Amino acid sequence: MAALATFLVPVLLLCGPDPCPAAAHSQPEVKCVLFNEEYMNCTWGSRETLKANYSLYYWYRNTSNKVECKHYWQDQDIRVGCYFNQNEIIQFQPFHVLLKASMGGSTLEISKRMELQDLVKPDAPVNLTIHNMSNNQLQLTWATTYPKAKCLEHAVKYKSNKDTDWMEISVNGDVFSLPSVDYKKFYTFYVRSKVNKYCGRTQLWSEWSVPVVWGSNSTSKGTVHWLWIHTVLIPIASCLILLVLVILLVRMERVWVILMPRIPNPSKNFDELFITHNGNFQEWAGVPKDVVESFKPNYSENICYVSELPPKDSYEPLWESSNPPPSVMPSASPAPGEHSPYKNSYGRV
């Protein structure tokens, strides 16, 4: 309890009955940036973090008079920063600021010492230009609005459309050479600047410049063209050619005959056979009459029926039977004196 009281008393004494300007929030810190050595902005917070009334005083080492900021940045009636024009800026002399925060009856003072030459942020490079050199070499040049160009170092960031990551290279002059480039690729370049170690000890890089591009974007253009050719041109051309062919087929029999030859119909060649000569081949073929006559038989033949006799066990000689064999059925019995070529083989197996 005694320890708690010991802790609370100084806090209450400091803040008093009124709210403490910085008790509820962390102490604001003054941050200054010298933009291109043209003007400077010092800020100490934002509307969300600041609750008190703020006043900024500044002086340089060799002067004893504190000067109040002439141009405050305001955010809804709260002072959040101070603007210094070029006449109020002196580099290479210790720059002191005193921020007074007052709320109610209490005042908080925050002081800071800075070296302005270490707080310079140059503007981004401008007029990026690419030159085509010999041996597939590219040269990138740029200009700067910073008053002392020799005090700057630069960084170039580039990649092609086929790369995934950016390449970042440090450059001391204002010329960057890319030794070998592929003409089929599409390159993009950015440049930024910083005051080098010969003119200050700043870590503030400028913003990246407006990009400059080089190369053929043929991949994307080619894809679009190819797609257009595939989906529009080729189908339309095919349809047109097909249409022309159809018309040709219909209108030109010579073409039709070539593509769709007639099924041969040899019946025409035989019209004379079937119509004129009534199917008489010999007459149509022009066979002589005596040859036709020679093929006609000059004898007559009786039909002789032959059948198989039953097996031997059940065989009965036919001669001993008075009945004629039942299987024999001559349609005409030959005359005794007439020669029959089949007589000897009659009834015998």
Partner 1 sequence: MERTIIFCMLFFFSSTVLAAASHRAVKYRQILLVIEKLEHAVKDKDVEWLHTPENPVEGCVDTALSCFKNGTLQLQPLNSQVNATFTKAIRVFRKYTIRSPGKQCESSCESYKKKPPKEFLTSFAKLIQKLLKNEYSAQQS
* Cβ-contact 137, 180 below 8 angstroms: yes
To the nearest whole angstrom, how small is the minimum distance from the Cβ of residue 114 to partner 1?
13
DSSP string, 39-79: EEEEE---TTT--SEEEEEEEETT----EE-SEEEEETTEE
Nearer to partner 1, 110 or 199 (CB): 199
3-state DSSP assignment of residue 230? helix
* Cβ-contact 259, 249 below 8 angstroms: yes
Among 15, 88, 115, 186, binds partner 1 (CB under 8 A): 115
How many residues bind to partner 1 according to rule CB under 8 A? 18
To the nearest whole angstrom, how small is the minimum distance from the Cβ of residue 88 to partner 1?
17
Nearer to partner 1, 106 or 144 (CB): 144
326 vs 320: CA distance, rounded Å: 14
Asked if 204 interacts with partner 1 (CB under 8 A), we say no
Interface positions, 227-286, toward partner 1 (CB under 8 A) = none
Nearer to partner 1, 90 or 318 (CB): 90
- With b for 16 or more beta-carbon neighbours within 10 A and e for fewer, the 65-84 pattern comes to eeeebeeeeeeeebbbbbeb
Nearer to partner 1, 147 or 235 (CB): 147
Binding mask 57-86 for partner 1 (x = CB under 8 A): ----xx------------------------
Asked if 53 interacts with partner 1 (CB under 8 A), we say no
- The residue behind tokens 């290279």 is 169
Binding site for partner 1 (CB under 8 A): 61-62, 91-94, 115, 117, 147-151, 197-201
